[in-house]
Amino acid sequence: METCSVTSKGQVTIPKSVRQKLGIRQGTKVEFALVDDHIEVRVRSTPVAVPESGFGMLKSRRKAVPADFDPASLAKP
């Protein structure tokens, strides 16, 4: 069993070995339950993995360009 300290803000650091074993990473939701004289921490949800390609991560406010759009049609002869 590993021991850690509580900060002045009531925060604790979950030991790395525990985080790795339970798959806890940034954005993971945990639940605290008071059971008799101790606390149980349960993983409620883990964020979906970030895609490695990054495709689709950026959003644009502009309208999409049609797939059949020909930029050459903008040039005036």
Q: Is the pLDDT of residue 50 over 70?
A: no
Nearest to 27 by CA among 47, 41, 44, 43: 47
Domain boundaries along the sequence of the chain: 24-48
Write b or e for each residue in 22-42: b if 16 or more Cβ atoms lie within 10 A of its Cβ, otherwise e: eebeeeeeeeeeeeeeeeeee
| Positive/negative CA dihedral, 55, 56, 62, 67 | positive
| Positive/negative CA dihedral, 66, 67, 68, 71 | positive
CA distance 14 to 17: 8
Question: Where does the pLDDT of residue 62 fall: very low under 50, low under 70, confident under 90, or very high at 90 and above?
Answer: confident
pTM score above 0.75: no
| 13-17, 18-22, 72-76, range with the lowest pLDDT | 72-76
